[in-house]
Structures are given as structure tokens and as C-alpha cells.
Amino acid sequence: MKTKELIALLKKLDPEGNIEVTVGNTPIYTVDKEPAYYDGCRWELIQDSSKDPYYNIEGIKVTDKGCKISISPMELYDVLTHNINCQIIMDFENEWPYDHYKVSIDNIIKEIEGFKKVKREVGIDVI
């Protein structure tokens, strides 16, 4: 997808530009312009627009030519790895997701603390 296509879609879906954008359900951390070959070659979908709005993918193109805009999300695990004491706000309209996310976050914290404990035991500096 070209940047102009992405911008047009975003403007169509959110004309005021106030909706939070995610990759899947993961927040975007950085957006960078890079050479197409950087950190792995750029992949492009080959699409047949005559099949829209149905599945229209005809193939894949891989290239190291030109540039790409790389959108990098930041997973909760990565945030907690960098700062296990960071602020976590759970803001739900319904009560049902709270327990699910609380358990998930607690499990991630336990896992990270376990890794840090193992690293200390083998003599690796832990920040």
C-alpha cells in the first residue's frame, strides 16, 4: 500500500484524525522511512482491484529497491520489559475484560521477573 492510499483511507475512516491507530491491537511506537532492503526486503501485495471488495490478492512481490515506510508497534511485553513499574490504566466500558487483562498483565510481569531472577543467579547484570 502506498502512503497516499493509507492517508486517504485514514481520512475516510476518521476525517477529524482523532481515533487511535493500532497495528492489530498493538499501539504504534515509531514510523520511519527506510531503504527497502533495511531489516529485510520490502514485501508488496499484488492485488486485482476488479475483485474488490472481495479477496483480491493475486500474489506477492519482494524487492530491495527504493524505500519503505516502516510502522513499528510496541507490545505490552516490551513496555514492561523496559519499565516493569510503568503506569497501566485499564479503562473499560464493560467489566468483563478487566479480569482477562489483569491476569494477562500479571502473567507477563511474573515472566519478566522470572527472567530477571535467572539472569541475576547466573551473574548477568539486570537493569
- pLDDT tens, 7-19? 999 999 999 999 9
**The domain containing residue 45 runs over which residues?**
3-73
Q: Which three cell numbers stand for residue 97?
A: 475484560
Asked if pLDDT for residue 126 goes beyond 70, the answer is no
DSSP symbol at 49: G
Say yes or no: 42 and 104 in one domain: no
Say yes or no: 14 and 68 in one domain: yes
- Asked whether the CA dihedral 8, 12, 13, 16 is positive or negative, the reply is positive
The percent of residues above 70 in pLDDT, for the chain, comes to 98
pTM: 0.76
The answer to whether residue 20 is domain-embedded is yes
Say yes or no: 96 and 61 in one domain: no
Say yes or no: 12 and 56 in one domain: yes
Q: pLDDT per residue over 25-63, tens digit each?
A: 999 999 999 999 999 999 999 999 999 989 999 999 999
pLDDT (mean) for 21-26: 95
